């Protein structure tokens, strides 16, 4: 049994994050019989949604996520930072000498699992930060291989590659067994900042490996939600966001946050009304994130948009029920088109060849580098959009959806093959460790 530990939180209420975890599980299957432990600060929520194949562990909140996700985050002092990460390094040194002694003195489930790990996996999604250094250092001390797998966040890295932080992040990337990055922008940024190109491997986001639910289950969900399933009524998926970079940075000319929120509601209402007039589609709001806290719940903004739609309201539906990541991907597969502000909903759509388009902002490098540059789908910025131009673009994408589907049907197998290649490379590096 190969014991793998992910010491970062992957919240199950964010279905994009959950899709990443499911993709990681598929990737790890090439190693053979694997036991996967995952740190969870939202233990009660996650244990309801993750299968028994994932062991959830509690322990030290190294990334301070519970504070960051609270309604009133508190400043994180340098002393608190040193104490928290110093705890990890002190434990690692003790575990190097005596695992039994380390587990006796540290009653921490996460630390205990780390000391028993055969592989530590870090850096999923946008988690490219200097804190990765501490887990790499801890793994090196305990002689446990560490892999950075599926990392991105070119924008976030810019704040890390300064002064001392730059040196420790360089150490981290140079002392892992493998660094898989998910977009060319992140790779080029790291090369420009002193990371050898041969230490970086560009592969698609691991979420593409998550299989959708069966077509039968997806159709069952659509029937339950009372979505019409007729050949002459195409299904148009809509995914506006509440929380995240697109939510925070769009409509930057707004005077304040309250005004910006109202502009977003008005914008989406105007766009949906236009699409209702210009198409015969049935529109379904597909919330792809409903937590881990309320201000990340996409259903809230979808409800408010719904309230402002008065014409053809019978052709618009909000799915309020929580479905799993695989179920949502299966529903997306049944859609004729998806318009989304959530990157992983689009990654899911692309991997099942559903025509799609992204609404993003200039600051969202993930959307531009993955959805546009890597997968060739349209990305439109909402920093200060020309709404009339956007309407024309969306209608044009809609009208050309069958051509797009043909192109994406040819692309999807290539994307999956490349993601599987990353898994095989991880296997190779893991088995070569220590030889």
Alpha helices in 184-324 (DSSP H): 184-192, 215-224, 245-249, 257-278, 298-307
Which residues, including other chains, have CB under 8 Å from residue 395's CB and lie 6 or more apart? 274, 275, 278, 279
**Beta pairing class for 119-122 and 2-6:** parallel
Which residues, including other chains, have CB under 8 Å from residue 333's CB and lie 6 or more apart? 212, 215, 218, 349, 352, 354
Query: What is the reported pLDDT for 12?
Result: 94
| Domain presence at residue 408 | no
pTM: 0.94
37 and 90 housed in the same domain: yes
257 and 189 housed in the same domain: no
Asked whether 424 and 305 are in contact (CB, 8 A), the reply is: no
Percent with pLDDT over 90 in the chain: 78
97 and 13 housed in the same domain: yes
| Domain presence at residue 272 | yes
Q: Domain containing 149 — which CATH number?
A: 3.40.50.2000
Residue 398 tokens read as 């809609």
**Beta pairing class for 337-340 and 356-360:** parallel
151 and 229 housed in the same domain: no
205 and 232 housed in the same domain: no
The domain tally of the chain equals: 2
Strand partners, 38: 6, 56
| Domain presence at residue 269 | yes
How far apart are alpha carbons 202 and 319 in whole angstroms? 35
247 and 187 housed in the same domain: no
Q: How many helices (H) and strands (E) does the chain have?
A: 19, 13
How far apart are alpha carbons 92 and 105 in whole angstroms? 12
How far apart are alpha carbons 363 and 359 in whole angstroms? 12
* pLDDT per position as a tens digit, 316-346: 999 999 999 999 999 999 999 999 999 999 9
197 and 290 housed in the same domain: no
| Domain presence at residue 306 | yes
280 and 160 housed in the same domain: no
98 and 159 housed in the same domain: yes
Beta-strand runs (E) in 80-194: 119-122, 146-151, 178-181
388 and 427 housed in the same domain: no
224 and 85 housed in the same domain: no
* pLDDT per position as a tens digit, 202-224: 999 999 999 999 999 999 999 99
Query: What is the reported pLDDT for 384?
Result: 93
| Domain presence at residue 407 | no
| Domain presence at residue 404 | no
Query: Exposed, middle or buried, 125 (CB in 10 Å: 0-12/13-18/19+)?
Result: buried
**Tens digits of pLDDT across the chain (435 residues):** 999 999 999 999 999 999 999 999 999 999 999 999 999 999 999 999 998 889 999 999 998 888 887 777 787 788 888 899 999 999 999 999 988 888 888 899 999 999 999 999 999 987 788 889 999 999 999 999 999 999 987 655 666 667 778 888 899 999 999 999 999 988 988 898 888 999 999 999 999 999 999 999 999 999 999 999 998 999 999 999 998 899 999 998 887 889 999 999 999 999 999 999 999 999 999 999 998 888 889 999 999 999 999 889 999 999 999 999 999 999 999 999 999 999 999 999 999 999 999 999 999 988 999 999 999 999 999 999 999 999 999 999 999 999 999 999 999 999 999 999 999 999 999 999 865
Asked whether 142 and 99 are in contact (CB, 8 A), the reply is: no
How far apart are alpha carbons 302 and 141 in whole angstroms? 48
105 and 205 housed in the same domain: yes
Domain that holds residue 320: 215-399
Which residues, including other chains, have CB under 8 Å from residue 75's CB and lie 6 or more apart? none
How far apart are alpha carbons 38 and 61 in whole angstroms? 12
| Domain presence at residue 164 | yes
How far apart are alpha carbons 187 and 193 in whole angstroms? 10
Closest CA to 333 of 348, 318, 313, 344: 348
Q: What is the DSSP letter of 368?
A: I
Longest dimension (CA), the chain: 71
| Domain presence at residue 411 | no
Q: What angle do CA 220, 222, 227 make, to 5 degrees?
A: 140
């Amino acid at each position: 049994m190969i014991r793998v530990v992910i010491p970062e939180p992957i919240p199950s209420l964010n279905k994009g994050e959950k899709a990443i975890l499911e993709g990681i599980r598929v990737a790890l299957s090439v190693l053979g019989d694997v036991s996967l432990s995952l740190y969870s600060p939202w233990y009660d929520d996650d244990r309801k949604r993750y299968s028994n194949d994932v062991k959830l562990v509690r322990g030290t909140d190294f990334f301070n996520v519970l504070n960051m996700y609270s309604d009133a985050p508190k400043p994180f002092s340098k002393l608190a930072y040193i104490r928290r990460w110093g705890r990890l390094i002190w434990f690692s040194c003790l575990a190097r000498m005596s695992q039994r002694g380390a587990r006796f003195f540290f009653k921490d489930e996460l630390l205990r699992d780390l000391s028993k790990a055969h592989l530590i996996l870090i850096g999923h999604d946008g988690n490219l930060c200097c804190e990765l250094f501490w887990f790499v250092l801890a793994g090196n001390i305990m002689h446990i291989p560490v892999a950075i797998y599926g990392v991105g966040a070119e924008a976030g890295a810019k704040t890390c590659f300064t002064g001392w932080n730059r040196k420790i992040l360089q150490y981290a990337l140079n002392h892992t067994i493998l660094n898989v990055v998910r977009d060319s922008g992140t790779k080029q940024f790291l090369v420009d900042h002193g990371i050898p190109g041969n230490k970086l491997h560009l592969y698609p986001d691991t979420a593409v490996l998550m299989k959708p639910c069966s077509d039968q289950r997806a159709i069952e969900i659509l029937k339950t939600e009372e979505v019409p399933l007729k050949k002459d009524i195409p299904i148009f998926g809509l995914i506006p966001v509440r929380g995240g970079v697109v939510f925070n940075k769009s409509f930057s000319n707004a005077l304040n946050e309250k005004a910006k929120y109202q502009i977003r509601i008005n914008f989406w209402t105007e766009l949906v009304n236009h699409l209702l007039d210009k198409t015969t589609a049935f529109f379904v709001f597909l919330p792809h994130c409903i937590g881990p806290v309320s201000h990340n719940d996409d259903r809230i903004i979808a409800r408010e948009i719904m309230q402002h739609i008065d014409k053809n309201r019978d052709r618009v539906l909000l799915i309020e029920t929580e479905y799993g990541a695989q179920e949502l991907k299966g529903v997306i597969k049944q859609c004729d088109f998806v318009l989304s502000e959530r990157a992983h909903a689009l990654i899911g759509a692309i991997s099942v060849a559903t025509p799609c388009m992204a609404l993003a902002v200039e600051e969202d490098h993930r959307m531009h580098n993955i959805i546009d540059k890597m997968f060739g789908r349209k990305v439109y910025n909402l920093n200060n959009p020309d709404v009339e131009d956007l309407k024309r673009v969306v209608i044009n994408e809609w009208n050309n959806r069958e051509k797009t589907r043909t192109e994406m049907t040819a692309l999807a197998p290539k994307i999956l093959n490349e993601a599987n290649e990353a898994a095989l490379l991880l296997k190779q590096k893991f088995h070569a460790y220590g030889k």
